[in-house]
Amino acid sequence: MTLSGWTLVQTHLLDPLLNLVYPPVCVGCGRVGALLCDGCRASLERNAPILDEQPLPPIASVTAIGAFAGILQQAVHALKYEGMTDLAEPLGSLLAARLSAAALPPSLIVPVPLHASRLAQRGYNQSALLGRVLSTALAWPFDPALLLRQRATASQVGLNYQGRQENVRDAFMVTDSSVVEGRDILLVDDVYTTGATLHECALKLEERGARTIRAAVVGRAGSTGMS
Protein backbone atom coordinates (compact mmCIF):
# COMPACT_ATOMS: atom_id res chain seq x y z
CA MET A 1 0.00 0.00 0.00
CA THR A 2 1.31 3.45 -0.89
CA LEU A 3 1.82 6.14 1.71
CA SER A 4 -1.13 8.14 0.36
CA GLY A 5 -3.27 4.99 0.43
CA TRP A 6 -2.31 4.33 4.04
CA THR A 7 -3.10 7.94 4.92
CA LEU A 8 -6.58 7.57 3.45
CA VAL A 9 -7.19 4.36 5.38
CA GLN A 10 -6.00 6.01 8.60
CA THR A 11 -8.07 9.17 8.04
CA HIS A 12 -11.32 7.52 6.99
CA LEU A 13 -11.25 4.21 8.83
CA LEU A 14 -8.77 3.91 11.70
CA ASP A 15 -9.03 7.41 13.19
CA PRO A 16 -12.86 7.33 13.44
CA LEU A 17 -12.67 3.88 15.08
CA LEU A 18 -10.05 5.07 17.56
CA ASN A 19 -12.19 8.12 18.33
CA LEU A 20 -15.07 5.82 19.19
CA VAL A 21 -12.93 3.77 21.56
CA TYR A 22 -10.81 6.67 22.84
CA PRO A 23 -12.79 9.86 22.21
CA PRO A 24 -10.77 13.07 22.23
CA VAL A 25 -10.85 15.16 25.39
CA CYS A 26 -10.70 18.96 25.38
CA VAL A 27 -7.33 20.21 26.65
CA GLY A 28 -9.06 23.24 28.15
CA CYS A 29 -11.98 21.85 30.13
CA GLY A 30 -11.82 18.04 29.87
CA ARG A 31 -15.09 17.75 27.96
CA VAL A 32 -15.24 14.67 25.73
CA GLY A 33 -15.66 15.11 21.98
CA ALA A 34 -12.88 17.39 20.69
CA LEU A 35 -9.32 18.37 21.58
CA LEU A 36 -10.52 21.98 21.75
CA CYS A 37 -14.27 22.15 22.38
CA ASP A 38 -16.55 24.85 20.99
CA GLY A 39 -16.82 26.54 24.38
CA CYS A 40 -13.06 26.79 24.92
CA ARG A 41 -12.51 27.89 21.34
CA ALA A 42 -15.14 30.59 21.77
CA SER A 43 -13.43 31.78 24.95
CA LEU A 44 -10.16 32.13 23.03
CA GLU A 45 -11.94 34.06 20.30
CA ARG A 46 -13.13 36.49 22.97
CA ASN A 47 -9.59 36.97 24.31
CA ALA A 48 -8.08 40.38 23.74
CA PRO A 49 -5.87 39.93 20.64
CA ILE A 50 -2.26 41.07 20.88
CA LEU A 51 -0.65 43.17 18.15
CA ASP A 52 2.77 44.48 19.10
CA GLU A 53 3.95 47.13 16.65
CA GLN A 54 7.19 47.85 18.54
CA PRO A 55 9.06 44.54 18.83
CA LEU A 56 12.78 44.11 18.36
CA PRO A 57 13.89 45.28 14.88
CA PRO A 58 13.95 44.05 12.19
CA ILE A 59 10.59 42.51 13.13
CA ALA A 60 7.93 45.09 12.31
CA SER A 61 5.08 43.59 14.36
CA VAL A 62 4.02 40.52 16.32
CA THR A 63 0.49 39.14 16.25
CA ALA A 64 -0.75 36.64 18.85
CA ILE A 65 -4.09 35.01 19.65
CA GLY A 66 -3.66 36.17 23.22
CA ALA A 67 -1.62 35.90 26.40
CA PHE A 68 0.18 32.62 26.98
CA ALA A 69 -1.93 31.46 29.90
CA GLY A 70 -4.90 29.25 30.75
CA ILE A 71 -6.47 27.34 27.86
CA LEU A 72 -4.01 28.75 25.33
CA GLN A 73 -1.02 27.61 27.35
CA GLN A 74 -2.53 24.16 27.85
CA ALA A 75 -3.26 23.83 24.12
CA VAL A 76 0.25 24.87 23.07
CA HIS A 77 1.81 22.48 25.58
CA ALA A 78 -0.35 19.62 24.27
CA LEU A 79 0.52 20.46 20.65
CA LYS A 80 4.23 20.83 21.32
CA TYR A 81 4.98 18.11 23.86
CA GLU A 82 2.12 15.62 23.86
CA GLY A 83 1.83 14.82 20.16
CA MET A 84 -1.65 16.35 19.78
CA THR A 85 -0.94 17.62 16.27
CA ASP A 86 -4.64 18.03 15.46
CA LEU A 87 -4.61 21.12 17.70
CA ALA A 88 -2.68 22.95 14.96
CA GLU A 89 -5.92 23.37 13.00
CA PRO A 90 -8.03 25.26 15.58
CA LEU A 91 -5.06 27.23 16.88
CA GLY A 92 -3.92 28.09 13.36
CA SER A 93 -7.43 29.13 12.39
CA LEU A 94 -7.71 31.44 15.40
CA LEU A 95 -4.34 32.97 14.56
CA ALA A 96 -5.37 33.42 10.92
CA ALA A 97 -8.40 35.40 12.11
CA ARG A 98 -6.12 37.67 14.17
CA LEU A 99 -3.88 38.22 11.15
CA SER A 100 -6.84 39.03 8.93
CA ALA A 101 -8.04 41.61 11.45
CA ALA A 102 -4.55 43.14 11.53
CA ALA A 103 -4.75 43.65 7.74
CA LEU A 104 -1.15 42.58 7.07
CA PRO A 105 0.10 42.49 3.48
CA PRO A 106 0.15 39.04 1.88
CA SER A 107 3.40 37.45 2.98
CA LEU A 108 5.54 34.37 2.53
CA ILE A 109 4.91 32.21 5.61
CA VAL A 110 8.10 30.79 7.12
CA PRO A 111 8.07 28.67 10.31
CA VAL A 112 10.86 28.76 12.87
CA PRO A 113 12.69 25.48 12.19
CA LEU A 114 13.71 22.71 14.54
CA HIS A 115 17.16 21.15 14.38
CA ALA A 116 17.17 17.78 12.59
CA SER A 117 17.87 15.93 15.83
CA ARG A 118 14.94 17.57 17.63
CA LEU A 119 12.67 17.00 14.63
CA ALA A 120 13.58 13.32 14.57
CA GLN A 121 12.88 13.07 18.30
CA ARG A 122 9.53 14.87 18.20
CA GLY A 123 8.42 13.72 14.76
CA TYR A 124 7.02 17.09 13.68
CA ASN A 125 7.61 20.82 13.90
CA GLN A 126 4.65 22.47 15.61
CA SER A 127 5.49 25.84 14.01
CA ALA A 128 5.40 24.27 10.55
CA LEU A 129 2.01 22.68 11.31
CA LEU A 130 0.66 26.09 12.33
CA GLY A 131 2.21 27.73 9.27
CA ARG A 132 0.52 25.28 6.92
CA VAL A 133 -2.88 26.02 8.48
CA LEU A 134 -2.23 29.77 8.09
CA SER A 135 -1.24 29.27 4.46
CA THR A 136 -4.48 27.45 3.69
CA ALA A 137 -6.67 29.90 5.60
CA LEU A 138 -5.07 33.08 4.22
CA ALA A 139 -4.07 31.77 0.77
CA TRP A 140 -0.49 32.97 1.34
CA PRO A 141 2.53 30.99 0.13
CA PHE A 142 4.31 28.72 2.60
CA ASP A 143 7.96 27.66 2.62
CA PRO A 144 8.82 25.30 5.50
CA ALA A 145 12.41 24.82 4.32
CA LEU A 146 13.54 28.43 3.78
CA LEU A 147 15.12 28.63 7.23
CA LEU A 148 17.40 25.90 8.52
CA ARG A 149 18.46 25.43 12.14
CA GLN A 150 22.06 24.49 11.44
CA ARG A 151 23.11 24.08 15.06
CA ALA A 152 21.38 22.19 17.85
CA THR A 153 20.61 24.52 20.75
CA ALA A 154 19.75 23.94 24.38
CA SER A 155 16.22 24.59 25.60
CA GLN A 156 15.45 28.29 26.08
CA VAL A 157 13.40 27.55 29.20
CA GLY A 158 14.92 29.16 32.27
CA LEU A 159 17.31 31.44 30.36
CA ASN A 160 17.14 35.23 30.55
CA TYR A 161 17.13 37.34 27.40
CA GLN A 162 20.91 37.56 27.15
CA GLY A 163 21.23 33.82 27.68
CA ARG A 164 18.62 33.15 25.03
CA GLN A 165 20.39 35.45 22.58
CA GLU A 166 23.69 33.64 23.07
CA ASN A 167 21.98 30.26 22.84
CA VAL A 168 20.54 30.92 19.35
CA ARG A 169 23.29 33.14 17.92
CA ASP A 170 24.11 31.95 14.37
CA ALA A 171 21.90 28.91 14.86
CA PHE A 172 19.89 29.63 11.69
CA MET A 173 20.62 30.06 8.00
CA VAL A 174 18.62 30.97 4.89
CA THR A 175 18.67 28.13 2.36
CA ASP A 176 17.75 30.20 -0.73
CA SER A 177 18.44 33.95 -0.78
CA SER A 178 16.63 34.39 -4.11
CA VAL A 179 13.34 33.48 -2.43
CA VAL A 180 13.81 36.10 0.30
CA GLU A 181 14.94 39.18 -1.60
CA GLY A 182 12.22 41.83 -1.81
CA ARG A 183 9.62 39.64 -0.07
CA ASP A 184 7.32 40.32 2.86
CA ILE A 185 7.94 37.51 5.35
CA LEU A 186 5.70 36.22 8.13
CA LEU A 187 7.66 34.22 10.71
CA VAL A 188 5.56 31.69 12.62
CA ASP A 189 6.30 30.23 16.06
CA ASP A 190 4.26 28.86 18.95
CA VAL A 191 5.15 31.22 21.82
CA TYR A 192 6.79 34.64 22.21
CA THR A 193 8.74 34.96 25.47
CA THR A 194 11.69 37.33 24.98
CA GLY A 195 11.93 37.55 21.20
CA ALA A 196 15.43 36.06 20.97
CA THR A 197 14.66 33.17 18.59
CA LEU A 198 12.46 35.14 16.22
CA HIS A 199 14.90 38.04 16.33
CA GLU A 200 17.77 35.79 15.26
CA CYS A 201 15.68 34.33 12.42
CA ALA A 202 14.65 37.84 11.32
CA LEU A 203 18.27 39.03 11.23
CA LYS A 204 19.17 36.25 8.79
CA LEU A 205 16.18 37.11 6.58
CA GLU A 206 17.04 40.81 6.67
CA GLU A 207 20.63 40.02 5.62
CA ARG A 208 19.23 38.23 2.56
CA GLY A 209 17.11 41.19 1.49
CA ALA A 210 13.64 40.64 2.97
CA ARG A 211 11.49 43.75 2.51
CA THR A 212 9.48 43.43 5.71
CA ILE A 213 9.48 40.81 8.46
CA ARG A 214 6.53 40.26 10.77
CA ALA A 215 5.81 37.48 13.23
CA ALA A 216 2.77 35.49 14.29
CA VAL A 217 2.57 33.32 17.39
CA VAL A 218 -0.14 31.47 19.25
CA GLY A 219 0.61 32.93 22.68
CA ARG A 220 2.61 35.77 24.13
CA ALA A 221 4.30 35.17 27.46
CA GLY A 222 4.90 37.94 29.98
CA SER A 223 4.78 41.59 28.97
CA THR A 224 7.64 41.81 26.50
CA GLY A 225 7.66 38.93 24.27
CA MET A 226 8.86 35.49 22.43
CA SER A 227 10.68 32.17 22.69
Give the CATH number for residue 220.
Answer: 3.40.50.2020
Q: What is the pLDDT of residue 224?
A: 40
Q: Are 24 and 15 in contact (CB under 8 A)?
A: no
Residue 114 phi/psi, 5° resolution? Answer: -95, 155
Cis peptide before 57 (omega within 30 of 0): no
Percent of the chain whose predicted confidence (pLDDT) is above 70: 87
- Average pLDDT of span 133-142: 98
In a domain, 28, yes or no: no
Say yes or no to pLDDT of 170 above 90: no
In a domain, 81, yes or no: yes
Banded model confidence at residue 21, pLDDT cuts 50, 70, 90: low
In a domain, 21, yes or no: no
Q: What is the pLDDT of residue 163?
A: 78
Domain count for the chain: 1
Of 15-24, 76-85, 174-183, the poorest mean pLDDT is in: 15-24
Q: What is the pLDDT of residue 151?
A: 87
E strands in the chain? 50-52, 59-67, 108-111, 147-149, 172-174, 184-194, 212-220, 226
Residue 65 phi/psi, 5° resolution? Answer: -60, -40
In a domain, 13, yes or no: no
Of 8-22, 75-89, 175-189, the poorest mean pLDDT is in: 8-22
Q: What is the pLDDT of residue 227?
A: 43
State pLDDT tens for residues 97-116.
999 998 899 999 999 999 99
Of 55-64, 65-74, 136-145, 152-161, the poorest mean pLDDT is in: 152-161
Q: What is the pLDDT of residue 31?
A: 93
- Average pLDDT of span 69-79: 96
- Average pLDDT of span 117-121: 94
Q: What is the pLDDT of residue 10?
A: 44
Q: What is the mean pLDDT of the chain?
A: 88
Q: What is the pLDDT of residue 160?
A: 75
In a domain, 31, yes or no: no
* Burial tier of 156 (Cβ tally within 10 Å: 0-12, 13-18, 19+): middle
- List the domain range (segments joined by +) for residue 209: 49-154+161-226
Q: What is the pLDDT of residue 11?
A: 43
Residue type, 80: K
Q: What is the pLDDT of residue 100?
A: 94
In a domain, 14, yes or no: no
In a domain, 210, yes or no: yes
In a domain, 24, yes or no: no
- Average pLDDT of span 170-192: 96
